[in-house]
Every structure is written in C-alpha cells, then in structure tokens.
Structure 1
C-alpha cells in the first residue's frame, strides 16, 4: 500500500501544473491582478508559450527581447528560464533647496525565474544600490537604524523600506543591497509549498494592515492546502530580527536579536466575486540568543495556542474583497490586537477600472489605533529589521489615499495623493528599544505625479519623469523632481 501511495504522489507531481513563481510585486502588477476578470493562471501559462522567432531578423529579435520579452529566455520540454536585468537609474533635485545636493538612485541587479517539470517554479534576484535621498526620507531611514547598546553612538546606519540595512556612501549617500529568492512546489493539485525570503502582501489595497512588502526580506516557509474547492488553510513560519547588535560576540559583527513570527490564515471564496479571509499573525520571543528556540506552541499548525503566552504578541485580521460588475472592486480589512479601540485598525477601499480606457481609480481610507502593533515588551512589536510589518507609517494615524493612472498604448500617467492625520503620534514607538521620543500632531500631504513610457510591460521597464510635493505642519515643504530609467519590479515606499 505504501508503494502504491508513493507512486501516486510521484505521478501527480509530474502532471500537476503550478503557477510560475514571481517576485514582481510592484503596484503596477498588483493593480493588474486586482482588475475584475484577471486570471493569474492564464497569465502564467501565457509566459510558458514559446513564440518562434527563427524567421525574424536580428534587429527584430533584439527589439522584441528589449520591448516585449525577457532579455534571455529558455523554453524546453520540462524547463523554462527567464532572465532580466534590474536597473533603477534616477537623478533628481529638491527644487526648494537652493544649492542642495543632487538626489540619485543607482541600482543594478539581475532577476531570474523559471519552471522545472510541471510542479516546481522559482524566482530570485540580486540587487546592489547606491542612493542619496531627500531630507524627509533620510530622517525616516536613519531613525530606523540598528542599535548598538552600551556604546557612545546608540543608533547607527539606517534601513531603507524594501531595501534593507545601509552603510554610508560618499557624502550623504547610502549603500545597500539585497537578495531575494523563492520557490513554489505543488506535489498535488490542492497543496502548495512555498519557501524563501520573498515579501508577502495581504489584501487588495494600496496598503495592507495585516502584512505588506514594506519591510525587509525574511526567510520563511508557507504551506497552503485547498479543500472543498472554496476553502484554503495555510500556515507560515518566519525568522525575523530586531536590529539590536549583541554586546558580546566572537565574529566580525555582533548578531542581531532574533524573533520568530507565525501566520495562520483561512480563506473562503463565497463565489467568483467574493472572497473572505481570517488570519492570526503572531510574533514569538526567542530570548536574547541566536540558538534559543521559541515556545514549542510556535510550531503547531493551529491558531490561538499562543493566547496565554507572554512570549507571544498576536494580531488578528479580517480581509474582504468583492467584485461588482466588470469594473469595480470593493475591499476592506479589520485588524485587532485587543478589545480597546487603540488596539484596532480598519481599511475601506474601492478600485474603479476602465472609467477611461486602460485606466484605474483607487480610493482608500485607513485608520490605525495608537497601540495596535506595539507589544508590552518593545522587542516583541510587529516589526522586522526595525520596520513595521504592515503599514509604513506604523500606528496612531488616519490616512486617505487617492490613486489614478491611465495608459495610451505605452505612454502612461499616474497621480497619487496621500494625506495623513497624526494625533498623539510617536514615530519611534515600534522600535525594539525603549525611547523617550515625544508624541506630536501633524498633517502631511504627499502628492506625486509621474509621466512615462513603458518600454517593456512584462518587466515594467520605464522611462519616466516624476514630481513630488510634500507638505507638513512640522517639516519644511519639499518639491522633488526626478527623471529616471527603471525596471519597476518591486515596491520601495517613500510616502510615509
């Protein structure tokens, strides 16, 4: 009987088709995936189709790889491989800062993805960056830097959202790099096993109050099982860090303080238009040692077991999405860590598609209580690499987001308005060490316009010009002007 079972599993592993794993999570791709009628499986299958270019001239082949395909592709019977460069070359200036330094981004890397047989796919990227940011971005990046306890300089370097820990580069610049990898294995039709360090975004909005791609990459394993066609249950285990250097170490640099996170989620597809999700998202203490394991309940694939444990800080989330007609998607999230209003948050949003041909309009409102993500013990807060795991702004705010974009062939225009209302807000209250930073009130308006030409939609390779107006009751007004050439595959948020 065991032999028969093994044969059945191996047989199914050959003939089950899995979607192509992808790391491309930029808002451009997310907007497409949230459009009513979008079929992710069909898009994945389309990428596997080989288009015969043998009869094309060299010039046309080169143009096709530059404007329609990946730079390098392999299509064999049981193997596909796609390779593309990753670049982000930008130059800019704060128009109101006379004599101020030139702002720039210099990103180089490579993006690779592929499939093996019918049930295994993978994606990986390696990226190196040098950049000089605006004043408000510098303040945010440096305020989330790593801690060195018992030293004269308690906090050093900085952390770029979606980019990682930095090192100084020339005058006022940052040097940082990252590597992301993920694989997806589907041994049977209803089971998905995903492992790697790729970020995850939960929800249908511009923001997520449950889990977003704002923070740094973290190694994890995610197992999801679909049953009764409409239900799916998943468990995820992740290793995370607080950027607090150990005071005693034998290596070149001290290790960071580790912590673990678990995620249990249950999704129900009511019908083809309505999806509902419930989740438990927890941070577990690992003490102050790289070898200490979290509480044994952490490994159990069952939710609610950590409720009585002081070494656990849990966030519970509700996620809802509904398609109305062929052009509208409504969505909402509700999250809580306790029954006080300050420990709750909610999101309401709507997306309108094709009010004009090839357009999208998004309206979203987020409100987050002042104690939602913070734990009683600072190093147990809902963070990784000193950055919030959900909303980039952390907690204690209200936010209105208005986004609109339209495309005429490959020419596109985008507008984004973000308004924050901060009351009794503390920008450092999620950091893993106690701080005496005072709370404050502020109104922030972040207005961005972008006009560009999408050279290659498949990798979102764009030539663009961008203008950002940032107004604050506390900080000086800034007008940032940039031009650039970029493969926009990943998000790096600066509208905080």
Structure 2
C-alpha cells in the first residue's frame, strides 16, 4: 500500500528524483555531450573500458529535478521518464521502448521494423543497481541483412533465433538485464545478460558490442592508476551441426582480462588476453585455471595442451591531446611464428589484426561536432580456430570486428548535436576478401583454419576480393532526452561486389539503397555496416 501511494505521488508530483542503472548503456550518440567534457579534462579515467561506470565518472545515479509548471502529459512526452519512484532506500523508473521504422529499398519492396518493449532501471539501497529490457520485434530487413539471418539464424546484434513473419520478414526477441554491486571504491561486481566493449574506437579488435547479448559476470578493480577487468561469459553456437540434441544450442565459455594503466593524465595503455573454451560433445569440464582472475592464458594453453582452447592476446593504447582530441590503437594476436614473419612468406599461422584511429570532440571549434577517422585490418584466419565451436564468436557473429577477418577498413564518422537536433554522416570503405563456395580464404570465422586453401602466400583480401562501401546519413529530433525517444529520417547505401559473385560467407554481396523514416527509442548501438 505504501509503495502504491508513493507511485501515485510521483506521477502527480514528479519533482522527486528518478534512478538510473550504475553503468551507461552502450550508445555512440546519446553521451557525446557528456563525453566531450570528459575527454577535454586532464583526469585519470579509463575510457577504453565500456560501458562507463557513472559513479567513477562523478555522475550521480539520480536525475535532476524537473520543472513542474508544465502539464503531466507534456512532461511525460517531452521531458521525463514514464514512471519514476524514488526513496532514500530504493528507486526505479520504467519507460516504454519502441522502434517504428518504415522505409523503401530500391529494386525491392518496402522495409519496416516494428518493436515494442520496456526498460526498468533502479537501485536498491546505495550499493545495488539494476536494469532489465525486453523487446519483441517484427521486421523486414534490407536484402543483405536477410541473407545474413538465413545463413546464421540470427539478426546480427539484434535478435535471437529468427522466426518467419509474413513475406520475407522475421519475428525475433531481444532481452538484456544486469545487476551491479558497488562493494566499495575498489571493487564492482556485475552479473547479467548483456554486452561489453573494450577500446576507444567505433570498432574494437578485442571485444565489441556488435554480437548478440550473452550471460556474463564481470569484476572491475580500481586501484590508483590501474583498472583491471575480469569478464567471464557463456556463449552459444547457432549452427545446426553444432547442436548436441535437436533444438539445444552448443555452449562455450569466454574468459577475458583487461589491465588498463593510466601512465599519466593523457596516456593510457591496456593489456588484454582472452580464451574461448568448449568441447563439441559438451562432455568435458572446465579447467580450474579458466576461473583464475590473474592467470596468463597463453602459457596455460601450452601447459594443458593447445587443443584445449582458443587463446588471444592484445594491447590497446590512447593519447589525449588538448581540446578533447585523441589518437588510439589496438593490436590483437591470435597466433604467430617469428621466423615466418621475418621470412615474409605469408604463413597462415600469422593471425593478427590492428587498429589506428583519431577522434575529436567539438571538432574545428564547432561545439557539438564529433569526428572520427579510423583504420582497421585483420589478416586471414584471425579469430578462427581448429574446432569451429571455439572460434572467437557468439550467436552467429564475431565477438570483435563484425567483418570477421581478411580485410582493410577505413571509417569516417561525423556527428553533430545541437539542442534536441542531431545529424550523422558515416562513411566506410573497405577491401575485403570473401570466401567462394567450398573454399576457405580466411574471412569467415565459422570455418576451421584446418580447411585453409594454402599454408603460405596468404595476404589480406585474398580469395574473392572486392570493394566495400557504406554510407549512412540521418537527421533526428530528440523527442524525449530522458528516454532517448527520437524522430528520424535518412538513408543507407551499401555496396560490396566481387568478380566471383555471391558466396557462402555471411559478408554477402550486392547493393542496397534504403530510405528510412521512423520513431524509435535509441538505447543500444545498431550496426548495419556489415
């Protein structure tokens, strides 16, 4: 009864405060203004580990009080969350989530996304915070997304196993939920179903948020200028041939460490390692070293046998200039032989990738303008493994760069925000090697590297080589900043063609021009530049 009375009071008098989950949601647009202030200052904050912790940012979990002179309907539509309840001991908020997008694809049919759902956020006491989302979706996607869904049985990054809906459409669901416990200023524990991102880039060569959500447990340790992240996750393989019993997905497990070191207020260095473990028959137990929070996986892999898991190592670094300018980079090492590298023979064993980027907040002195120039590359067979189950992927999508491997990519991103208006111009150009049917030239991480075409002479973009181009332009008006509701319009153009035509790889070929208009709640990143 007491809670019901409080709820009625809050709906009638929303001058009370509303709670937010301790970590910010992974979104490239909604936090640009906040990030521009963060990057402009000289402070020790580990920006290469996302999502950001609001408490470590110095941002209160409570929203500001809102003015009450406007009517209830006006406030709920334009300013506030739908339902907010706050107390000294607890608080929560509820908002609807929608995505009503309609568009037309040239030389095809109309396209649409129809999404309905909710998000619940809040806290219990001063140490526990939580959020939960659920989305029910029906959609008819551009041709290349539909082809991907047919091949991998998943909407990349957005949906679980797909069900047919009408003519050429899909019915799918998306869900996340996390519970976080801030033990003290040193330790934070988080468990749930979600995604993580390591790096400063639009892409990540270490771990990105382009795949579907997964169950995980994360420990963050902050001591002096060090931040150490332990991440354990359960991953799934959607391939029918990987199922032990019909309808039951094969499981595998991820354990990752990232040690971030603030050399000074401007320079950051991060050391990364990760291992994916699983067995095709789902009979073997996990080695105890898998749960060790400070072990080095590559020596352990050698000790227990290299066939026991897929280990990767990497590093990332960034340097911050004045006025929120930053250069950054990453390097991921899957396997290599020093003698093969020095010999220059293009051995398949040399599997690695790298990133180099520059980003600028308030670029050219224009407040609210963000620009990024980024280069990414990965050699053939990077992230793949002898046993496909233990590749560096989850639910039909790579865990790092969504193109998999065997590519060069250049990204030019422009975002402008002023008041409630925002615009985006995104350009991507790539040189990619695709896999002709029945062949494995190293782009698809869902092929075993033992089926490689050759041992030597391997180079980036081998196989069915082609040029990739992606252009995304959109303009949006933010209807409600508190919930992220936006009205937007724009278009997307994608082109990838090779001389050999369509192939078996998920990076399917062809051209797509899509015009879009819609109303959506912008909560997570969505990647259509596949």
**Structure 1 CA distance for aligned equivalents of residues 204 and 243 of structure 2:** 35
Instruction: Tell me which residue corresponds to 1:125.
Output: 133
Change (3 A) 1:343 1:435: closer
**Structure 2 CA distance for aligned equivalents of residues 476 and 244 of structure 1:** 24
Which runs of no fewer than 5 residues in structure 1 stay unpaired?
1-17, 146-157
CA contact (8 A) 2:467 2:497 kept: yes
Deviation at 1:335, TM superposition (A): 0.8
Q: Which deviations, in whole Å up to 9, do the C-alpha atoms of 1:426-483 show, x marking residues without a partner? A: 5873126798999311101001110121112333211111111222334443221010
CA contact (8 A) 1:316 1:337 kept: yes
**Structure 2 CA distance for aligned equivalents of residues 372 and 30 of structure 1:** 32
Mapping of residues 40-439 of structure 1, within 5 Å: 40-41=54-55, 45-49=59-63, 51=65, 55-57=68-70, 59=71, 61-95=72-106, 97=107, 100-145=108-153, 158-227=154-223, 229-245=224-240, 249=245, 253-289=246-282, 292-301=284-293, 302-304=295-297, 305-308=299-302, 309=305, 310-339=307-336, 342-355=350-363, 356-423=366-433, 429-431=444-446, 439=463
Q: Which deviations, in whole Å up to 9, do the C-alpha atoms of 1:395-427 show, x marking residues without a partner? A: 110000001011232122110001110136558
**In the alignment, structure 1 residue 440 sits paired with structure 2 residue 464:** yes
Change (3 A) 1:343 1:443: same
Change (3 A) 1:272 1:69: farther
Change (3 A) 1:477 1:49: closer
Q: Which deviations, in whole Å up to 9, do the C-alpha atoms of 1:185-216 show, x marking residues without a partner? A: 01122011111111001111100111111111
Instruction: Tell me which residue corresponds to 2:36.
Output: 35
Number of matched residues? 456
CA contact (8 A) 2:382 2:442 kept: no
CA contact (8 A) 1:84 1:111 kept: yes
**Structure 2 CA distance for aligned equivalents of residues 22 and 170 of structure 1:** 38
**Structure 2 CA distance for aligned equivalents of residues 427 and 126 of structure 1:** 36
Change (3 A) 1:34 1:311: farther
**Structure 1 CA distance for aligned equivalents of residues 308 and 263 of structure 2:** 36
**In the alignment, structure 1 residue 470 sits paired with structure 2 residue 494:** yes
Change (3 A) 1:112 1:23: farther
CA contact (8 A) 1:35 1:329 kept: no
> TM-score, normalization: structure 1?
0.86
Deviation at 1:130, TM superposition (A): 0.6
CA contact (8 A) 2:431 2:468 kept: yes
Which runs of no fewer than 5 residues in structure 2 stay unpaired?
1-18, 40-44, 46-53, 342-349, 436-440, 454-461, 499-508
Change (3 A) 1:328 1:257: same
> TM-score, normalization: structure 2?
0.80
Q: CA RMSD in A?
A: 2.5
Deviation at 1:225, TM superposition (A): 1.7
CA contact (8 A) 1:28 1:460 kept: no
Deviation at 1:306, TM superposition (A): 3.1
CA contact (8 A) 1:162 1:491 kept: no
**Structure 2 CA distance for aligned equivalents of residues 427 and 105 of structure 1:** 33
SS at match of 1:495: coil
